[in-house]
Structure 1
Amino acid sequence: MYKYPNKIPFLNLLFRSSSITRNPIPFHKEGFDKHGDSFAIKAPFAKPVMLTRDAEITKHILRKNHRNYNKSKIQTKYLSKYVGKGLLTASGDYWLKQRRLIQPAFHKEKLQKLVAIMEGEIEKQLKTIQENKTVALYPIMNQLAFHVVAKSLFNYSSDDNTMHRLQEIIEKLQDFIIREIRQPHKKWWYKVSGLVGKHMKLVQESRNIINKVIDERRVSNQEHDDLLDMLLKAKYEDDGTSMTNEQLIDEILIFFVAGHETTANALTFTFHLLASNEETLQKAVAEVDTVDNSLPHMEKLAKLNYVKNCVEESMRLYPPAWITDRVAIEDDSFTEFNIEKGTMIGISFYELHRNKKYWDNPDAFIPERFSDENRKKTAGYYFPFGAGPRMCIGNGFALYEMMLTVYAVLKKYHIETDQTEIEIAPLITLKPIDLRLKFTKRTS
């Protein structure tokens, strides 16, 4: 006997479909407030879709019984069409094989080599900031994050025009992927109007750009200490072979797509929250000022505890990967529910991170939640990079990048904003809308 959470009538969803397409979070919040930490939606002739903000269910699906769950077609089929069959979009045995191969490139010792590359690129990007005027924040952080990923992947003096073109293509693909996923009823139109074909040509162009870089690297005998070097040297356990160019391109495209926009979003939210909370900002600046800029990179990061707490609290309030989904391979039971195989479950990290059951004063920006003495209390309810075996492989990379960026900005600038409200666009990632900041060169 199957038992699902309380069901929201499908007509409710239908009548509000356009507003839900634009921003589903108010609809989710309404459902959770009315029905508790899980609810379901039942369309005619289809299995219920379940949504949850329950930490125990989340841990069951992503950790304890993860083998019974696959990513949905949204990720494995629609995304992979444009970004290839990389870690984000692959599943099953192939995913496991790739994860085992790539994981060592993101171990702490390997990341140490990338931190110097990161820091140099961050300093370079900060020189482009317009000072003493209020400017749009996201484009600055997006540019910075893209160049940090590009430089960490391909640490050589590549043609700037080529990298700029790759950035342009990836942003166009991201925009179109969102449109196709959020408006499935228009799929036929996207196809007959030639939009799908146009974007598939962009996919091929991006793959050609990356392929050229890989070919050049294969015949080069120089060491670059970047991610591409590490990926080229990685060998499969079973037969000692390396990845083909096609496999490398798939993984590199995923790093670009998943690695730069999520970080740009998180940095934008972090700087806005710091600028809006004077006391917190002063504590972060005080810590930054005690850290000697000439220290080795990893020693510097180890001293930025409060900066790290600020980044973590920002990702609690505004997790870039704000929702994920899984589909049950077989029937399953958890908490008081029994679900049928084929059921899709959406896990809202955004709502889980603001659930009053787990967090005191959940809507407030309080970095101290993540101090050493408080961290244990929150660990079981905090999923900014997902959880379980499919947890984001680049979480350490992203955290180092964000901490170094906050450090570099606060060392150089006083930041301020007169905006009190944060508007969001929950697309594939959680994007900020038109947040603006003023950067003033510090005199002391």
Structure 2
Amino acid sequence: MSNYKYPNKLSFFNFLLRSTSIAKNPIPFHRKWFDEKGDSFAIKSPFYGHIILTRDIDFTKHILQKKHKKYHKSKIQTHYLSKYVGYGLLTSSGDYWLEQRRLIQPAFHKEKIQNLVDIIHKAIKDQVSQIKTDGFVDLYPIMNELAFEVVAKSLFNFSAQKEILSRLQFIIEKLQLFIVKELRMPYKKLWYTLNGDIKYHMKLVKESRAIISTIITQRKVSKAKHDDLLDMLLHAQYEDGTTMADTQIIDEILILFVAGHETTANALTFTFKLLAQEKEALIKVKEEVAKLDKQQIDPLQEITQLEYTKCCVEESLRLYPPAWITDRVNIEDDEFKAYALKKGTIIGSSIYELHRNEKYWKNPEAFVPERFSEENRKKCLPYFMPFGAGPRLCIGNNFAMYEMVLTVSEVLKCFNIETDEAQIKVNPLITLKPVGVKLRFTHNA
């Protein structure tokens, strides 16, 4: 294929002029260029070659589902991310990824997650009981702590000390911030090497792996049985009957921490902020939660019956998807509609913009949980991708939904919530982070 054809081009010079602002927050620029150039546009970068950004549903499904074998995760994830968080499900590609996915998938089947619900619920209750009711408080740290505890308890149940887990939490957050700096400003790589930044963060990587290695060793020595994810990872067998090496287990655990706690903390922060702003929706959720609370049913039954609560969580995920952008690179030349794409083209699909594209959503900027009600959801689901799509759909999607619905229920059983600011600010790092969200919690009368 010699005559390559790309979507409307944006000059790299135009991009470079704004690079500092884009590094801080690319979303306003994406919106501007989508509006000017159409639902897909291209840039030719001296660092990464051809890059396409899209908010088109067909193009997104083409790379994630229909032609997924031609499209691997880009070096951004398989190389840059993996050196910090290991070569696990999120960062691996090809045959190795498929083998790992088949091995780990059973642990995340609905039935298995249902076994974890009691552990998840207890961790949520413990965290919610610590929420303070003195004025407006920063919401994200509370949700971050809660989500980290849920992942930690689900992974390790009772086999890790609080101080050790806090250290792990600190390291993971530090690494994520630095990964974003390195990705957004590749031209500063030499400076990061000279000023010791890379050396410092690689030291943190070593420490995080040592922490998890110690937990694995202690579990193996103790022979204790815990119905948690670590037990599953230790005992999962490949087709030939062998199990994962410790280094592989460490990779997968780091990925589960990185992918599993921060995305949920972000999503919960956005959900509570939106509910505090949208009083009608908040009243409906509180009524649904109170009604079920009187019935004293177990957490698993509660999840299935909190229908409107789930709609609110899904609508929050539509407006503020934590995995706000996903990328792929074609491993051979490809064609899509009028485009002819050279091998090695990076395609970034903006889930954030796709979820707000007027072609697919009526009144896309508004918070309307009813979109996801039983009678409406069929119209929405083809354009709803908060957990990705295709074979690489997020393995923890059921886990995350259970955790979020139970958290919203538990918080609103205990508290009323208020906000004093209409605006919602975001910081698009590897995940879409909320900025400066403050809520006031007051005990229910």
Q: TM-score range by the shorter chain?
A: over 0.9
20, 23, 26: which one aligns with 1:24: 26
Aligned residue for 1:100?
102
Aligned residue for 2:183?
181
Aligned residue for 1:262?
263
Aligned residue for 2:315?
313
Report the residue type matching 1:279 in the other structure.
Answer: E
Deviates further, 253-262 or 198-207: 198-207
Report the residue type matching 1:287 in the other structure.
Answer: E
155, 158, 163: which one aligns with 2:157: 155
1:247 has 2:248 as partner: yes
Q: Distance in 1 between matches of 2:62 and 2:132?
A: 47
Q: Is residue 151–residue 261 contact of structure 2 (8 Å, CA) maintained in 1?
A: yes
Report the residue type matching 1:248 in the other structure.
Answer: I
1:361 has 2:341 as partner: no
Q: Distance in 2 between matches of 1:46 and 1:327?
A: 11
Deviates further, 112-121 or 288-297: 288-297
Q: Distance in 2 between matches of 1:248 and 1:403?
A: 29
Distance 1:45 1:170, change over 3 A: closer
Q: Is residue 299–residue 406 contact of structure 2 (8 Å, CA) maintained in 1?
A: no
Aligned residue for 2:349?
347
Q: Distance in 1 between matches of 2:284 and 2:298?
A: 23
How is 1:380-399 mapped onto 2 (pairs within 5 angstroms)? 380-399=382-401
Identical-pair percentage: 63
Q: Distance in 1 between matches of 2:141 and 2:94?
A: 37
Q: Distance in 1 between matches of 2:74 and 2:303?
A: 37
Structure 1 residue 45 displacement after superposition:
9.4
Structure 1 residue 181 displacement after superposition:
1.4
Structure 1 residue 47 displacement after superposition:
4.1
Tell me the secondary structure at the aligned position of residue 220 of structure 2: helix
Structure 1 residue 157 displacement after superposition:
5.1
Q: Distance in 2 between matches of 1:151 and 1:145?
A: 10
Tell me the secondary structure at the aligned position of residue 249 of structure 1: helix
Tell me the secondary structure at the aligned position of residue 271 of structure 1: helix
| Residues 279-335 of structure 1, C-alpha deviations (whole Å, 9 max, x = no match) | 011111111111136312211100011111101000100000000111111111122
Aligned residue for 1:194?
196
| Residues 201-229 of structure 1, C-alpha deviations (whole Å, 9 max, x = no match) | 11111111111111111122322100001
| Residues 226-281 of structure 1, C-alpha deviations (whole Å, 9 max, x = no match) | 000111111001x1101111000000000111111110000000000000000011
1:290 has 2:307 as partner: no
How is 1:44-443 mapped onto 2 (pairs within 5 angstroms)? 47-156=49-158, 158-237=160-239, 239-292=240-293, 294-443=296-445
Q: Distance in 2 between matches of 1:271 and 1:178?
A: 26
Tell me the secondary structure at the aligned position of residue 59 of structure 1: helix
Tell me the secondary structure at the aligned position of residue 372 of structure 1: coil
Structure 1 residue 382 displacement after superposition:
0.6
Q: Distance in 2 between matches of 1:394 and 1:244?
A: 22
Q: CA RMSD in A?
A: 1.2
Tell me the secondary structure at the aligned position of residue 433 of structure 2: strand
Tell me the secondary structure at the aligned position of residue 100 of structure 1: helix
Q: Distance in 2 between matches of 1:373 and 1:255?
A: 34
Structure 1 residue 378 displacement after superposition:
0.8
Tell me the secondary structure at the aligned position of residue 158 of structure 1: coil
Report the residue type matching 2:436 in the other structure.
Answer: D
Q: Distance in 1 between matches of 2:44 and 2:199?
A: 34
Report the residue type matching 1:412 in the other structure.
Answer: C
Tell me the secondary structure at the aligned position of residue 48 of structure 1: strand
Q: Distance in 2 between matches of 1:304 and 1:211?
A: 39
Deviates further, 26-35 or 262-271: 26-35
Deviates further, 382-391 or 286-295: 286-295
Uncovered stretches (5+) of structure 1, i.e. residues with no partner: none
Distance 1:168 1:214, change over 3 A: same
TM-score, length of structure 2 as denominator length: 0.97
TM-score, length of structure 1 as denominator length: 0.98
Tell me the secondary structure at the aligned position of residue 437 of structure 1: strand
Structure 1 residue 46 displacement after superposition:
7.0
Tell me the secondary structure at the aligned position of residue 30 of structure 1: helix
Structure 1 residue 42 displacement after superposition:
2.4
Structure 1 residue 58 displacement after superposition:
0.6
Structure 1 residue 63 displacement after superposition:
0.3
Distance 1:104 1:44, change over 3 A: closer
